[in-house]
Amino acid sequence: MIRTRDELEAQERVVLASYAQKSGDSEGRIHPEPKHPHRTDYQRDRARVIHSRAFRRLEYKTQVFLNGTGDHLRTRLTHTFEVANITRTIARALGLNEDLAEVIALAHDLGHPPFGHTGEETLDELMCDHGGFDHNEQSLRVVDVIELRYPKFPGLNLSHEVREGLQKHARFYESAKPGGKRTAHPSLEAQVANLADEITYYSHDLDDGLDFKLLEPKQLAGLEAWSVTEVQVRRDFPGLKGADLRAYVIRCLIDRQVADVIRTSSARIEAAGVRSADDVRAYSRPLIAYSDSLRRANVQLRKFLYKNLYYHPRVAGANKAACDMLGEVFAAYLKKPELLGEATARRMDDGGLHRTVFDYVSGMTDRYLLDEHARLFKKSRKPAAKRTAKSARRKK
């Protein structure tokens, strides 16, 4: 028996909560396309994201540690899978559209440049007179313009609700309906993917920082998010020590955050009395949230990570050296646009020189950029990632 798309859409109306975004109610795509016989629009969007080149490149982009620094440190791709997984858990528990929430999670970092936070800051400076850089806007640009997979339109031509979800922290959200209103918030599915991103990086950055010995467990004693969870784990498993203890505290920290968001959001949704996805968009505040106490703990954790991990000399030093190369490659393309590939050069008329160079460079993986730098400047450099790994091993 083959289920048709009509049947799958009808099933969503029965199974999902009233305030979930149903695929059958999508506002559609920028370039109209015939519907698929047995896949919903969001299932189709998920496939488009997974099959994109930008998605595959996430494997070789820095999350916090320069790509290649350690085999089990997170990359942008493993981060993305962790976000998608947490997103699905929260979405399913709240009766939301898991397919939609998952696509937003899978696509949320497609616009991230090489070399993590430092790469983002470098590119923002390089583009300061040309509109700056925001990785959320760039994710949208990747799926709307940069990916070239289909003969009839540029980009992946994703559904309106997925594009809405990628405009994280936007001031307002446009409707695609003729005469439709701007709204203050996106769907609950987008709000879930947004918060799942935070839950994911708080926990895995702590995990990677401890694993790579940039953070010491004793530094975390004053952090509420860590200490409350650790006390509970030590009580339940008094024999756990060292790496085993740490791994289980991280696991429980994620579980605590997810459970808190599900509980808090469910109560807020009920209190708001929203009955539809449009009610959610028009409501005065976001409905997916942490409890006040966990939000305070996470603010403290975030400050700690910025101070002690993201700008730790061993992280920032390696990333800064790589970003200097990023600046040099950027300048080389501006000076000699003929160095850009043919497909990229074709976009020059639409975007202008700076934006075209920027799109090209920001799409690069860490290792491609390092190789390109060596090629352009005819230097045989060892990739910074390998140098960092060696020096890290020496320090252990």
User: Does 109 interact with Mg ion (rule: CB under 5 A)?
Assistant: yes
Say how many residues touch Mg ion, by CB under 5 A.
Answer: 2
Of the pair 288, 329, the CB lying nearest Mg ion is at 288
Of the pair 33, 198, the CB lying nearest Mg ion is at 198
Stretch that binds Mg ion, among 51-59, 105-113, 270-278, 387-395 (CB under 5 A): 105-113
Of the pair 195, 262, the CB lying nearest Mg ion is at 195
**CA torsion, ordered 207, 213, 215, 220, to nearest 10 deg:** 70
User: Hey, which residues between 236 and 255 contact Mg ion (CB under 5 A)?
Assistant: none
Site pattern 178..217 for Mg ion (x: CB under 5 A): -------------------x--------------------
Q: What are the residues facing 173 on neighbouring strands?
A: 183
Cβ 21 to Mg ion shortest distance, Å = 21
- Residues 91, 19 contacting (CB under 8 angstroms): no
Cβ 382 to Mg ion shortest distance, Å = 29
Cβ 190 to Mg ion shortest distance, Å = 14
Distance (Å, whole) CA 52 – CA 172: 28
Of the pair 110, 322, the CB lying nearest Mg ion is at 110
- Residues 9, 40 contacting (CB under 8 angstroms): yes
Cβ 55 to Mg ion shortest distance, Å = 13
Of the pair 109, 120, the CB lying nearest Mg ion is at 109
Site pattern 55..94 for Mg ion (x: CB under 5 A): ----------------------------------------
Cβ 109 to Mg ion shortest distance, Å = 4
Closest CA relative to residue 86, chosen from 257, 263, 267, 247:
257
Cβ 135 to Mg ion shortest distance, Å = 9
- Residues 298, 290 contacting (CB under 8 angstroms): yes
Stretch that binds Mg ion, among 50-58, 103-111, 178-186, 209-217 (CB under 5 A): 103-111
Show the CA angle centred on residue 95, arms to residues 267 and 162, nearest 5°: 105
**CA of 260: how far to CAs of 13, 186, 210, 370, 379, in Å?**
27, 21, 24, 42, 52
Residues in the chain: 396
Of the pair 161, 197, the CB lying nearest Mg ion is at 197
DSSP 3-state of 150: strand
Distance (Å, whole) CA 193 – CA 163: 13
Of the pair 197, 205, the CB lying nearest Mg ion is at 197
Residues 6+ apart with CB under 8 A from 80: 55, 58, 105, 106, 108, 109
Of the pair 87, 356, the CB lying nearest Mg ion is at 87
Cβ 374 to Mg ion shortest distance, Å = 29
Of the pair 105, 214, the CB lying nearest Mg ion is at 105
Cβ 76 to Mg ion shortest distance, Å = 8
Distance (Å, whole) CA 217 – CA 234: 14
Stretch that binds Mg ion, among 56-64, 102-110, 176-184, 358-366 (CB under 5 A): 102-110
Residues 6+ apart with CB under 8 A from 342: none
Cβ 191 to Mg ion shortest distance, Å = 15
Long-range contacts of 303-307 (CB under 8 A, 24+ apart): 304/220, 304/223, 305/202, 305/205, 305/206, 305/209
Binding site for Mg ion (CB under 5 A): 109, 197
